[in-house]
Amino acid sequence: MRIARALAALGPRFTGAGNDEQAVTLLLNEMRLAGLQATRQAYTFVGWELLAPPRLQIVEPGFSEIPCAVMIRSGSGNIRGRLRPAGLRSVVGVFNWESFEVLNEANEVSGLIIQRSDGPAIPQCLDEALSIPAVIVGSDWLDAFGGTLPENVIVTLSVECRHKPDCSGFNVVGAMDGLQDATAEILVCAHFDTMYGSPGANDNASGVDVALQLAAQPLTLPPGVAVRFVIFSGEEWIQLGANAYLGARKRAGDLAQIKLVLNIDMVGKGSYLWPSVTDDTEPLFRQAAAEVLPQAHVVYHNPPMKGDHYPFHVAGIPSIMLLWWPDNVYHTLHDVADALDDKTLLHSKELAARIIEIAAQNLASTKDQICV
């Protein structure tokens, strides 16, 4: 909890906002305290900045102000137009949510509204930068119309933001003693960045806390197997930091060294475990959970959903994301450290440690398999 509290106390850590420095310093210090050899990896990308709160109003029929949040990579604009349903849209590779286009007088698409299926408006990231304004609304935004869009709804939408070329992001990498000589590496990761405006205690200071607690505690590892800890940024930008790190390992030619990626994300509250696994890793998770948390309710996400493990999964590396669900306030200013639960953090650490130890044992005895 100590590290989660310290990170959350720094406030929002939105990648590209230029306020990463304190968090990176904190992470480097914590890694060194844990006995890791810690370094910083920088990468560049086209950033984005919100300049004013967005506004969405239904102006016909009637008049209503609709709570909304801006999608990262939205364009700017102050528009008025007619709504047209635009079908389901994939959001961050995890959700399929209803979307609506705003058509101007020339019938051109001049704005985009995405409707979250299960709760209030919270920001997410677009797959690609848009030149038109794009916002997200809560699942109840059409309740005044009985939940469905009537004909000829006119809205006004205003978003003020800008794209920022040459932004920098930073990952923090910690190597355990013995990694140099190891034949097999287990990569344990978590992201320290947050959605804009959120202190990100559960998403994901909690995962950083658990990862760095693991780094500081003795793990029972056979010879030849060692752990690298990587704390990514840019996760909320659909895994920018993880992709940058993966690219660096590909260029270094030592990607095949990584036998398992264990991604720890949102582990400070929730009523059930919702891990992302693959056929390669589900038996490993099942064994560890049965040993450490036999009472826990587990819902498996196989094939895996997106997260920092996902680019590694695509590259053919077995992966697990450890995650608890639900969390109704993630990506908001209410994601604060006081709402974290010590017990969930402790259980997550114990489960993650057992996953690492079983995988390491199997790797040593079979030479290359994390499951036997």
Interface ranges with Zn ion (CB under 5 A): 203-204, 265
**What angle, 0 to 180 degrees and rounded to 10, lies between the N-to-C axes of helices 282-292 and 342-366?**
130
Return the structure tokens found at 256: 């095949």
3-state SS, residue 86: strand
CB of 331 to Zn ion, least distance (A): 9
Minimum CB distance to Zn ion smaller for 209 or for 265: 265
CA distances from 207 to 94, 113, 127 (A): 19, 31, 24
CB of 323 to Zn ion, least distance (A): 8
188 forms bridges with which residues in the sheet?
A: 229, 262
**Those residues with Cβ within 8 angstroms of residue 153's Cβ, 6 or more apart along the chain or in another chain:** 58, 60, 61, 82, 83, 145
CB of 210 to Zn ion, least distance (A): 13
Minimum CB distance to Zn ion smaller for 109 or for 305: 305
Minimum CB distance to Zn ion smaller for 13 or for 349: 13
CB of 192 to Zn ion, least distance (A): 10
What's the rounded Cα separation, in Å, for the pair 295 and 311? 31
Torsion on CA atoms 349, 351, 352, 358, rounded to nearest 10 = 140
3-state SS, residue 111: strand
Q: In terms of residues, how long is the chain?
A: 372
CB of 54 to Zn ion, least distance (A): 22
Minimum CB distance to Zn ion smaller for 15 or for 158: 15
181-204 in b/e form (b: 16+ CB < 10 A) is: ebebbbbbbbbbbbbbbbbbbbbb
Minimum CB distance to Zn ion smaller for 101 or for 203: 203
CB of 274 to Zn ion, least distance (A): 13
Minimum CB distance to Zn ion smaller for 266 or for 359: 266
Minimum CB distance to Zn ion smaller for 265 or for 280: 265
3-state SS, residue 81: strand
Neighbours of 148 (CB within 10 A): 7
Minimum CB distance to Zn ion smaller for 30 or for 308: 308
CB of 12 to Zn ion, least distance (A): 13
3-state SS, residue 279: coil
3-state SS, residue 233: coil
**What angle, 0 to 180 degrees and rounded to 10, lies between the N-to-C axes of helices 206-216 and 342-366?**
50
Q: Do residues 263 and 289 touch, judged by C-beta distance below 8 A?
A: no
Minimum CB distance to Zn ion smaller for 158 or for 194: 194
CB of 359 to Zn ion, least distance (A): 22
Minimum CB distance to Zn ion smaller for 204 or for 348: 204
CB of 203 to Zn ion, least distance (A): 4
Return the structure tokens found at 124: 């997410």
CB of 28 to Zn ion, least distance (A): 21
- Among residues 220, 74, 58, the alpha carbon closest in space to that of 154 is found at 58
